[in-house]
């Protein structure tokens, strides 16, 4: 696995990467018509403007985001294999190739959701969509590198966000005696002190405002042009969402402050998990 020197991959992150690696091997082995194995690149995959990015949003018992990044050459080879097209590869990805690649990655994500859900102790949903480079810095990354039967390289890079990395951390186990005791006899956990939060106060986090969203067919996205109006699911007077790493933390109304958009918070959402 490739990773920056200052970031360590803990066992939970490694298990996540291993699950994606295994599921990717299974799917690629089917479309390649033979067993696929991955090598560990010595260096991180260089970023180019032509790279294809996909965002994977985790829901269920795990919350957070990860990305898949593929060089355009790898994307072409995978799309051609999926469509069972003969060589040589075309000069660029067509709409059909992009649709095929997305379907291939969705199949991998579907198998990965089942694999990581078994380890997480509950249902995990992984929603995949085309994207651009993330604004967050990855907590960990790895590259899956292999070659097709002609020796052409195929690489998929995986990055996980800080929110997903935190969700992967193991939860403290409840002692058996405490679990068997009546609810009113179990002492509540000690409250967090100011000192315990102090070390986190200077952590830089990026928040986004979401006016609304909608699901679109790939062919409708490819047909977009200047002047086209995309209708969102929110009504005009509906509150807008304030997102932290893909998770809604507050809602409010849009205001203008010194010529810039702003958000007047009207509701802070409870971050506690549902009982």
C-alpha 42, offset from chain centre: 24
CA angle, 55 then 105 then 34, to 5°: 150
Extract long-range pairs of 213-219: CB within 8 Å, 24+ residues apart. 218/95, 218/98, 218/99, 218/102, 219/95
Q: What is the pLDDT of residue 1?
A: 45
Cα–Cα distance for residue pair 59/48, rounded to 1 Å: 30
How many angstroms separate the Cα of 3 from the Cα of each of 20, 42, 112, 141, 159?
16, 10, 21, 6, 10
Which whole number is the average pLDDT over 238-263? 81
Token reading at 33? 């018509």
How many angstroms separate the Cα of 263 from the Cα of each of 55, 176, 207, 239, 253?
26, 46, 11, 10, 6
pLDDT confidence band for 3 (50 / 70 / 90): very low
Average of per-residue pLDDT values in the chain: 82
- What domains, with CATH codes, occur in the chain? 11-167 (3.40.1550.10), 205-270 (2.30.330.10)
In this predicted model, which residue has the larger pLDDT, 148 or 184? 148
Q: DSSP readout, 148-169? A: -TT--EEEEEEEE-HHHHHHTS
Which whole number is the average pLDDT over 250-271? 80
Secondary structure letter of residue 227 according to DSSP: T
Is the per-residue pLDDT at 275 higher than 50?
A: no
Which whole number is the average pLDDT over 91-100? 89
Which whole number is the average pLDDT over 92-97? 89
Q: What is the pLDDT of residue 122?
A: 85
In the three-class reduction of DSSP (H, G, I as helix; E, B as strand; rest coil), residue 225 is classed as coil
Q: What is the pLDDT of residue 126?
A: 92
Q: What is the pLDDT of residues 140-174, one digit of tens each?
A: 999 999 998 888 899 999 999 999 988 888 765 55
pLDDT confidence band for 233 (50 / 70 / 90): confident
In this predicted model, which residue has the larger pLDDT, 180 or 209? 209
pLDDT confidence band for 10 (50 / 70 / 90): confident
Q: What is the pLDDT of residues 28-80, one digit of tens each?
A: 999 988 899 998 777 788 889 999 999 999 998 888 999 999 999 999 999 99
């Amino acid at each position: 696995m490739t990773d920056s020197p200052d970031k360590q991959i803990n066992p939970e992150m490694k298990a996540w990467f291993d699950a994606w690696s295994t599921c990717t091997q299974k799917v690629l082995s089917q479309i390649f018509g033979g067993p696929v194995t991955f090598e560990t690149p010595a260096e991180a995959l260089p970023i180019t403007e032509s790279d294809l990015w996909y965002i994977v949003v985790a829901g269920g018992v795990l919350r957070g985001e990860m990305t898949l990044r593929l060089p355009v050459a790898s994307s072409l080879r995978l799309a051609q294999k999926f469509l069972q097209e003969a060589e040589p590869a075309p000069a660029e990805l067509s709409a059909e190739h992009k649709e095929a690649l997305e379907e291939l990655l969705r199949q991998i994500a579907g198998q990965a959701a089942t694999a990581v859900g078994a380890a997480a102790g509950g249902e995990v949903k992984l929603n995949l969509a085309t994207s651009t480079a993330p604004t967050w810095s990855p907590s960990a990354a790895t590259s899956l590198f292999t070659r097709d039967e002609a020796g052409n390289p195929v690489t998929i890079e995986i990055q996980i966000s800080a929110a997903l990395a935190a969700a992967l951390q193991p939860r403290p186990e409840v002692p058996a005696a405490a679990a068997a005791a009546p609810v009113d006899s179990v002492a509540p956990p000690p409250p967090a002190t100011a000192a315990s939060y102090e070390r986190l106060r200077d952590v830089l986090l990026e928040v986004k405002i979401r006016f609304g969203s909608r699901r679109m067919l790939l062919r409708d996205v490819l047909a977009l042009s200047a002047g086209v109006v995309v209708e969102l699911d929110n009504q005009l007077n509906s509150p807008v969402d304030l997102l932290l790493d893909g998770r809604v933390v507050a809602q409010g109304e849009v205001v203008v402050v010194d010529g810039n958009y702003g958000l007047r918070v009207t509701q802070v959402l409870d971050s506690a998990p549902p009982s």
